[in-house]
Amino acid sequence: MKLQALAALCSIALVEAKALTGEHAGVFGKHAIIRRQAHPTTSTPPTAAGSSTSGSSASTGTGTTANAPGTTTSAGAPVNTAPSTYDVNGIPPLSDITFGMPTGTTYAAASTVTPGTQPTTIPKAPVIPQFTVNPADWPAMDKPPPTDSPQVQAWMQELNGHTIPDIAPTVDGTCAGDPAAAAQAEQRGWWSCGGWTRPTDIVDCPDKLTWGVSFDDGPAPYTQKLLNYMNTKDIKATFFVVGSRALEYPQLLIEEYMAGHEISVHTWAHPPLTSRTTEQIVAELGWTRMIIQKVLGITPTTMRAPYGDIDDRVRAIALAMGLVPIQWTRAPSGFTFDTNDWHVAGGTVTGVDQMAIFDTILSNATIMDTGFIVLAHDLYEITVDLAIGYTLPAAINHNPPFQLKRIGECNSIPMSNMYVETNTNVTFPGPNATNATNPLPAIKAGSNTTGGSGSGAAANGSGSSDATAVGFPVVGAVVAAGFAALGAML
């Protein structure tokens, strides 16, 4: 195991070196290098009358074109059927989980939730709304949304009254890609270049031996397989949802939410946010927030930046839009709690290497005074198989045992306060935040919008790089008392 761990650490060094030389480039950045064989599909009955979704199709990056589960193609042929239960025998040996491995059958949503259904996991939650996918109503899949739309210009008004630091966008979100910005990483509060955080960031779970479980980049064709497994083990997680995937697989998003998992924003097209202008960041967050609200009837109050690429400008924009940033944990040594599952799907790490990396995560977690949050993904079959076959069981069976919880839950934030519509804290996320009763804040004649410049823009006209200038007094005031106090207020 020592040799495995050494090999794993060498793999991390190699992978991080590659990431610093341009793997963030492209629509999905590091994920863009992933290629998989075609998935077999079989038939399934068309969606029942009254279903809340109508499918659209888009490339999943796995070598196939997948439709929303339980929907039909334009020719009317049913598509994308899959098992509805977790098959313990369907997980390959760890040594076989690697890039280019044969693929299995995709998993459709286990159930079809009809409009008007009342969620049972959150008191007084809105019913599941009627939603029909019309691609013309939304930005292009996996493409940066345009910033000249009425929606984005309306969302820009949410920044009014908040100080948005005047920090220039980075070149590509990496230290190596922008040495000048990297030299000021501490002043910028740049997390992905140096691990700099602010009191408004959620970066761990307060209680020792507690894992805040999360999965990024879905929903996707194997998300239901993950959900089936977690249901058998009574595990709840936080899902950081890409807007394009929510539009592609709305029924899977509903399945996550109705099962009691937390839903959070993870941008529309998965770009490194520090490299985007203020208006581009607003567009990425706003469209993702909106598609989640249209499908589920609720609006998240949290977000995670792709690649963890956040600085004080991105934080301020997110907080002004009512979205608290959630990162993943870094040990005091600087070791990041990244499962590296995406590296296995990308062909730069093997399944055996990845598990050695995860063992290192658990070893670090046992000597920390707090709990932890780990980066993992539900976008690909490989990442799902690693989770349900190896990393989750390792944590469950660990001695001493770990408690697996949603990130909001482990921070004592009530489930209801993870969403605008059920939030009991009347001062959070703020009167200008988008919600169900005011999905598009009205643009007043003659009002000024901010951002869009190459150097970033301050919403109140006075730029600042001081994180304490972020106009978010509720979170800022309570963090000093710890996240337990935050949870009591949120």
Higher pLDDT, 443 or 205: 205
* Cα separation, 253 vs 258, whole angstroms: 9
* Cα separation, 290 vs 150, whole angstroms: 14
pLDDT of residue 89: 55
CATH architecture of 198-433: Alpha-Beta Barrel (3.20)
Single out the catalytic residue among 216, 217, 311, 378.
Answer: 216
Percent helix, strand and coil across the chain, each rounded to 5? 35, 10, 55
Q: pLDDT band at 331, cuts 50/70/90?
A: confident
Domain-wise residue ranges, the chain: 198-433
* Cα separation, 273 vs 314, whole angstroms: 7
* Cα separation, 179 vs 183, whole angstroms: 6
Chain segment 398-455, per-residue pLDDT in tens: 999 999 999 999 999 999 999 999 988 765 554 444 433 333 333 333 332 223 333 2
Contact 152, 146 (CB under 8 A): yes
The tokens describing 348, both together, are 């730069």
* Cα separation, 280 vs 273, whole angstroms: 8
Among 139, 393, 172, 457, smallest CA distance to 287 is for: 139
The tokens describing 389, both together, are 């076959």
The beta strands (E) that lie in 89-201 are given as none
* Cα separation, 480 vs 473, whole angstroms: 12
The tokens describing 435, both together, are 């919600």
Among 389, 475, 473, smallest CA distance to 162 is for: 473
Q: What is the DSSP letter of 61?
A: S
309 is catalytic: no
Among 201, 196, 176, smallest CA distance to 186 is for: 196
Asked if the model's pLDDT at residue 5 lies above 60, the reply is: no
Contact 97, 385 (CB under 8 A): yes
Contact 412, 488 (CB under 8 A): yes
Give the three-state DSSP class for 419: strand
Give the three-state DSSP class for 238: strand
* Cα separation, 461 vs 70, whole angstroms: 49
* Cα separation, 76 vs 78, whole angstroms: 6
Lowest mean pLDDT among 186-190, 198-202, 206-210, 427-431: 427-431
Give CA separation, 65 vs 59, 79, 306, 370, in Å: 5, 10, 24, 43
Residue 483, phi then psi, degrees to nearest 5: -70, -20
Contact 380, 219 (CB under 8 A): no
What pTM was computed for the model? 0.76
Looking at the DSSP bridge assignments, the partners of residue 240 are 216, 264
Single out the catalytic residue among 312, 377, 378, 385.
Answer: 377
**Cα angle, residue 28 at apex, residues 23 and 31 outer, rounded to 5°:** 60
Chain segment 237-250, per-residue pLDDT in tens: 999 999 999 999 99
Give the three-state DSSP class for 297: coil
39 is catalytic: no
Chain segment 98-129, per-residue pLDDT in tens: 998 888 888 888 888 999 999 999 989 999 99
